[in-house]
Structure 1
C-alpha cells in the first residue's frame, strides 16, 4: 500500500545576512522570470537509491546538516523597485519533505515518480527556500532519496556535490569534517568578491573578450533552409552511445586533454561541415569551478563561454589538442555580469547590426571524476562493434527559442554517453541533426580505434 506524509523540516543555522545577488543567481533569475508556465524546465533534480537504507530520523538529520553547511539552500532572492536583485540568507526556516511508503521492490519506481512530481512545479524563491526533498520508505527504512532545487540555488555541478555530501553525512562523516575536506565559498561571499575591484576587473575583461569575438566571428552559420512559423516546435534528438563512453575517455588520455575538449572538437567540426562555415563559433557552458575557492561550492556558477575555432579541417587528434588550448582561453572569460554583457551586446549591435552568429550552444554536463552512473554488470563489447548498440530517438519537441540554431547537452547515463540536441529545423533539418550527432560519434570512436582502444 503506497502511503504518503508531508513533513516540514525545521532548520536552525549560525549565519544570516543580505547582499546583492551573484552573477549566476541574477542570470538564472532573469532567464526563469520570462518562462511563465515553462519555468519548471529550469529546475535541477537528482534521485538515487541509498547505498544503505537508513531510518527516517537519520536522513532528516543529514539533510539538516547539509542545509547548515550550504547557504544556497537557505537563500531567498528578492527583486527591488530599481530592478536589482538581493539574496537573503536565513538562519531559520524549513524544507518541505515528502515521504512515501511502498513495497521494497517498488522503491525505485516510486522514487522516480516522486522526483518528477517535486521537479514539476516552479519555486517561489522570494518566499521559500529553493529545495524540496522526497524520500521513499520500505520496511521501515528510507531506501530512495530525491531532491529538486531551483536553478538559482544550484547548477549541475552543485547538485552533484550536494548529493555526494548527503551520502557522506549519512555514512557518518561529520559536518565539520566535510567542511575541512571540501572548503567552499558561500554565495554571499562570492557576491562580495564580484562587487570588489578584482571582481569588477574580471567582469570587464570577460565582457571585452565577448565584444571582440562578436566583432570578429562568422556572421551567419546556418542559413534558413525551410519555412518557419512563429510557433513551430523545435525537435529534440537523443543519441545514446555506449561506444562514446569508452572512446571519449581514451581519446582524452591519449592526447592529454579533457573529455569535454574531445566532444567540443567533434561538435565544432560538425558545425563547420554542416554549415560550411570555416570558423565555427559556439557558446559553451563553463562550470567555473576552476576559479579560486569555487571547486566545491554548491550554488549556480556555470555561465557561457564563447569559443571561436579559426579552422576545423585537419587531423582529429591535432584538432582536439588545438581545441583544448583554445577552450581554456574561452573558459577564462566565462564569468561575468550577464546584465552588463547584454547591455554591451545591444550597444555593439547598434554599431554592427551583423554581429557574429552566437546561436549554437554546447553543454557538457559530465564530471566523471566526481560521478558517473553505474552500468549493469556486463562486459562491454569491443569498441569496433559497440556502435551497433547506438540508438537515436526523437522523444519530444520544445517551444521555439529565440536566437537558437541548436543546443546540445552531453550527459553521462548508465553505460553510455547521451547527446541530446534541440534545433531550429528551418536551419538544421532532422536529417542534418541525425548526421550531426552521428558525426560526433564517428569522429571520436574512429580516433579511439586508430590510437589503440579495443
Structure 2
C-alpha cells in the first residue's frame, strides 16, 4: 500500500523562561549511551501514538502541543557538548517543532497512525541544534484522528512519556496549563540539575556509588555457568511471552502479599535464576524510575537509572520470597540516583584493586505504571485464571547484536488484556530452551500463587 502524501509544518512556540546549566545525571547518561550507537541511535528514541476517537480540529491539537511545550521545559531543551565529554543544557524561550500531517480514510486511521509513528521514531535527533520532539497527526474527514509523538530519550523516559501523553489529552479536553501545574507539580530539568550539583545532591550521589561498590565487592561472582559454545558476534535471541493470566495474577498476588507488582515479578525471576544458574545468591540491575524522590513524581524528563538488587538466598515458599524481595528492592531503590560517569570511574578503580567483580550482567525492567496507564482490553471475555493460562503464547520476534556484559535483560510490558515478558539473552549462557523455561517458570510461579491465594 502506498504512503499518502504528507504535509510538513513547523510549529512556532514562544513563552516561558530561558537559561542554561549543567546537564542532569539522566541527560548525561543517555547522551553517553546514544553517542556511541552511530546509525543505531534512533533505537533509544521514545515514542507513543494513540487514536482520538472524537476527532479534533488541527488548530486545537497544535494549540495543546504549544501549551505543553510551555509547561514542560524538557521539550524546549537542547544539549551542547562542552568539548570535554560533558554537556550543558540550554533552555530556549522560543523555537519550533516539526509536525507531519498525513491524510487517510477514516477506517484506515490506526494503520496510518502506526506507520507514521514508526517513521518519526526511526529518525535521529540533533539534540544540540533542535528541540527533542517531533509530532505526527493523521487526519480523516477534516479532523485529527491520530496523534503521534517521538522524543529523544535525553528528554524523557517511559514515565515522562506517559505523563506527557496524559497532559496533552487533558489540554485537548480544555484543562488549563495552570490547573495542570496545580494537579501535577513537576521539577524542571534545570532545577533538577541545580539540586544534583548542590551539597545534598552530591551526598546522595556519593552514597549511591558507595552502595554499588560494596555490592560489587561482596556479591556473587557468577550467576550462569557456560552452557554452549560462544560464537563471535552471534546475535542474541529475543523471546516474548504474552500472558493474559499474568495480568490478573500479578495484581492479585501484589494485593494479597502487600507488595508492588514489580516485586512479585522480580521474585519470580529470582527463583528462575536460582533454578537455571544453580546459585541462590543473586545480583541484578533493576531499572528504577526514581519518581518517588521529592518533587519528581510528575517530572517529564529522563530520571530512570539502574539500582543494584542483591539477594543472598532464595526462599522455598514463594510468599516468603516475594516479601523478602520487596524489602531488598526498596533498599536498592534508595541508591538508584547517581552521576553515572562518576560511578563508572569508581567501578574501574575498584576493578583495578579487585579484578573479579560480582556478576552484574542481568537486567530487570518493569516498564509499567498501571496506576497511571493500562491499555484497554476491549470487550474480550475474561476467562477463569486457570483457563486464562492456556491462552499464553511465546514468540521469537527478533535477534539483537551482542551486548557486552549482558547475560540477559527482561522487560515487563503492558499489552491490551495481557502482560508481556520480553527477554533477550546470551545463548552461550542461556540457550533458547532455557529462555522459554525461564519465562514460563515466572508465569507458573505467579499464577500458581494467585490460585493458591484465592484468585479465580
- TM-score band (shorter)? over 0.9
In the alignment, is residue 306 of structure 1 matched against residue 308 of structure 2?
yes
In the alignment, is residue 210 of structure 1 matched against residue 221 of structure 2?
no
Stretch of structure 1 that moved more, 157-166 or 79-88: 79-88
Q: In the alignment, what sits opposite 1:120?
A: 122
Correspondences of 1:35-50 after superposition (within 5 Å):
35-50=37-52
Consecutive unaligned residues of structure 2, counting only runs of 5 or more, are none
Distance 1:221 1:276 in 2: 8
Distance 1:437 1:314 in 2: 19
Distance 2:354 2:315 in 1: 29
Stretch of structure 1 that moved more, 78-87 or 151-160: 78-87
Correspondences of 1:343-358 after superposition (within 5 Å):
343-358=345-360
- Give the CA deviation at 1:84: 1.4
Q: In the alignment, what sits opposite 2:264?
A: 262
Q: In the alignment, what sits opposite 1:146?
A: 148
Match of 1:374 among 366, 373, 376: 376
Q: In the alignment, what sits opposite 2:23?
A: 21
CA contact (8 A) 1:240 1:391 kept: yes
SS in 2 for 1:100: strand
Q: How many residues align?
A: 454
SS in 2 for 1:15: coil
Consecutive unaligned residues of structure 1, counting only runs of 5 or more, are none
- Give the CA deviation at 1:414: 0.2
Distance 1:292 1:324 in 2: 21
Q: In the alignment, what sits opposite 1:176?
A: 178
- Give the CA deviation at 1:51: 4.4
Distance 1:402 1:3 in 2: 42
Q: In the alignment, what sits opposite 1:390?
A: 392
Q: In the alignment, what sits opposite 1:235?
A: 237
- Give the CA deviation at 1:194: 0.1
CA contact (8 A) 1:3 1:102 kept: no
Distance 2:450 2:5 in 1: 50
Correspondences of 1:33-182 after superposition (within 5 Å):
33-182=35-184
CA contact (8 A) 1:240 1:418 kept: yes
Distance 2:11 2:270 in 1: 47
- Give the CA deviation at 1:52: 2.4
Q: Deviations over 1:340-393 (max 9, x none)?
A: 000000000111111000000000000000000001212211001111100000
Correspondences of 1:275-314 after superposition (within 5 Å):
275-314=277-316
Match of 2:190 among 180, 188, 206: 188
Q: Deviations over 1:312-364 (max 9, x none)?
A: 13211111111111100000000000000000000001111110000000000
Distance 1:452 1:225 in 2: 39
The runs of at least 4 aligned residues of structure 1 exceeding 6 Å deviation read: none
Q: In the alignment, what sits opposite 1:431?
A: 433
Q: In the alignment, what sits opposite 1:322?
A: 324
CA contact (8 A) 1:44 1:151 kept: yes
TM-score under structure 1 normalisation? 0.99
SS in 2 for 1:348: helix
SS in 1 for 2:242: strand
- Give the CA deviation at 1:81: 1.6
Q: Deviations over 1:255-276 (max 9, x none)?
A: 0100011111111111111111
| RMSD of equivalent CA atoms | 0.8
Q: Deviations over 1:385-441 (max 9, x none)?
A: 111100000000000100000000000000000000000101100000001000000
Q: Deviations over 1:182-219 (max 9, x none)?
A: 00000000000000000000000000000010011000
Distance 2:16 2:243 in 1: 47
Q: In the alignment, what sits opposite 2:253?
A: 251
- Give the CA deviation at 1:36: 1.1
CA contact (8 A) 1:247 1:453 kept: yes
SS in 1 for 2:434: helix
Distance 1:170 1:129 in 2: 22
SS in 1 for 2:301: coil
SS in 2 for 1:8: strand
Q: Deviations over 1:141-188 (max 9, x none)?
A: 001001000000000000000000000000000011001110000000
Distance 2:279 2:117 in 1: 42
CA contact (8 A) 1:101 1:138 kept: yes
SS in 1 for 2:356: coil
SS in 2 for 1:9: strand
SS in 1 for 2:155: coil
Match of 2:341 among 333, 339, 342: 339
In the alignment, is residue 401 of structure 1 matched against residue 403 of structure 2?
yes
Distance 2:53 2:18 in 1: 33
